């Protein structure tokens, strides 16, 4: 069996067992019937290989698969990591499946068309992750889109956060002790200090951004209930890819669907709503409705000068 085929096997095994418990024979048949195995010209799969794969799945994804129920020789997912880690693992598996599929076809460029925009700043990702895990002081130059200036920053890094295909460093600025976000694509001359910082911050980054859209978080304000009315067609997209983790479906008719969210109505969120055009209407809160009206009126002026 090809050495570079293990990621596809892991993904397929998990996919089969997420459907229901299965015997080795059922797992084997599922793998051999898959397009991945057929394209790779793989025609056999042993129980010894399965046992090795299960150990690797446990090590890589912290997902325990076993078959130790009395009188039952079916394999099943016995335990899985906490929700946040499990979501990360799922995205990782999806990436593996895409990479494996592309690698299987040397002429993939004729059939698979990737987004030409590429994320920048990823070259510092590993260094920043190291600094976060080891509480190392970090210094860098950062360019601000708002004031078009480059400033030198010395920070205590806390986490890395993704938003709209961009990565951000969440850190405490040593100058004013405030928690801020810095776009990795605008960070240059990164320097990770050998010394570690001793401060023990009580900041729960997950909780910090719980009611935020993107990387903007207004700690001094309380999140608000936001009610959106979507056309039936657009609602299907919003259902399948929620705008925020707090999104809930409130009501549904043949023509309209109403969703409710709880978050800060920031400029980033307003831009997201505006991107849906006439398909999405804000019903609450009034402050967001007013902001959208002003924004649309200003936009119309650009076309009637």
Residue 2 has pLDDT above 70, yes or no: no
Residue 158 has pLDDT above 90, yes or no: yes
Q: Tell whether 189 is covered by a domain.
A: yes
pLDDT confidence of residue 82: 58
pLDDT confidence of residue 260: 96
Q: Tell whether 96 is covered by a domain.
A: yes
153 and 246, same domain (yes or no)? no
Among 109-113, 129-133, 195-199, 202-206, which is the least confidently predicted range?
109-113
Give the pLDDT band (50/70/90) at residue 104.
Answer: low
pLDDT confidence of residue 246: 92
Residue 107 has pLDDT above 90, yes or no: no
Longest Cα–Cα distance in the chain: 79
13 and 87, same domain (yes or no)? yes
The pTM score is 0.68
Give the pLDDT band (50/70/90) at residue 96.
Answer: low
Average pLDDT over residues 207-219: 78
pLDDT digits (tens, 9 = 90+) for 50-83: 999 999 888 877 788 988 666 678 999 888 765 5
DSSP, collapsed to helix, strand or coil, labels residue 217 as coil
Number of domains the chain contains: 3
194 and 288, same domain (yes or no)? no
- 104: tokens are 């299987």
193 and 233, same domain (yes or no)? no
The domain of 139 spans 122-208
Kindly report the average pLDDT of the chain as a whole number: 85
Rounded to an integer, what distance in angstroms lies between the CA atom of residue 26 and that of residue 20? 11
CATH number, domain of 290, equals: 3.30.70
CATH number, domain of 166, equals: 2.30.30
Q: By percentage, how much of the chain surpasses pLDDT 90?
A: 46
Residue carrying the six token digits 């804000």: 282
pLDDT digits (tens, 9 = 90+) for 227-242: 999 999 999 999 999 9
Helix intervals (H) in 47-82: 47-61
pLDDT digits (tens, 9 = 90+) for 165-185: 788 999 999 999 988 999 999
Q: Tell whether 215 is covered by a domain.
A: no
Q: Tell whether 218 is covered by a domain.
A: no
**More confident call, 203 vs 291:** 291
Rounded to an integer, what distance in angstroms lies between the CA atom of residue 136 and that of residue 191? 10
- 63: tokens are 């997902």
Residue 250 has pLDDT above 90, yes or no: yes
Q: For the chain, how far is it from start to end, CA to CA, in angstroms? A: 67
Long-range contacts of 2-5 (CB under 8 A, 24+ apart): 2/40, 2/42, 4/103, 5/36, 5/40, 5/42, 5/100
Residue 37 has pLDDT above 90, yes or no: no
């Amino acid at each position: 069996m090809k050495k570079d085929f293990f990621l596809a096997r892991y993904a397929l095994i998990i996919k089969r067992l997420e459907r229901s418990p299965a015997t080795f024979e059922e797992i084997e048949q599922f793998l051999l019937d898959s397009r991945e195995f057929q394209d790779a010209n793989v025609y056999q799969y042993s129980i010894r290989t399965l046992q090795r794969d299960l150990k690797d799945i446990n090590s890589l994804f912290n997902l325990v698969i076993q078959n130790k129920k009395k009188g039952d020789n079916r394999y099943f997912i016995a335990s899985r990591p906490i929700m946040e880690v499990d979501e990360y693992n799922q995205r990782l598996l999806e990436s593996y499946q895409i990479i494996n599929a592309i690698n299987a076809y040397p002429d993939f460029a004729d059939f698979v068309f990737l987004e030409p925009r590429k994320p920048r700043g990823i070259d510092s990702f590993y260094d920043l992750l190291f600094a976060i895990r080891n509480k190392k002081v970090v210094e860098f130059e950062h360019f601000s889109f708002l004031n078009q200036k480059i400033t030198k920053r010395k920070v205590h890094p806390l986490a890395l956060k993704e938003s709209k295909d961009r990565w951000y460093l969440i850190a405490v600025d040593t100058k004013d002790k405030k928690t801020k976000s810095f776009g990795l694509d605008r960070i240059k001359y990164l320097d990770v200090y050998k010394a570690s910082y001793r401060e023990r911050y009580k900041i729960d980054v997950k909780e910090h951004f719980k009611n935020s859209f993107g990387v903007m978080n207004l700690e001094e304000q309380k999140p608000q209930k936001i009610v959106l009315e979507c056309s039936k067609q657009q609602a299907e997209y919003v259902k399948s890819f929620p705008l925020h983790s707090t999104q809930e479906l409130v009501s549904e008719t043949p023509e309209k669907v109403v969703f409710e969210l709880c978050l800060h109505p920031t400029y980033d969120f307003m831009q997201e709503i505006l991107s849906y055009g006439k398909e999405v209407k804000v019903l609450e809160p009034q402050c967001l409705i007013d902001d959208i009206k002003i924004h649309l009126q200003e936009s119309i002026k650009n076309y009637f000068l």
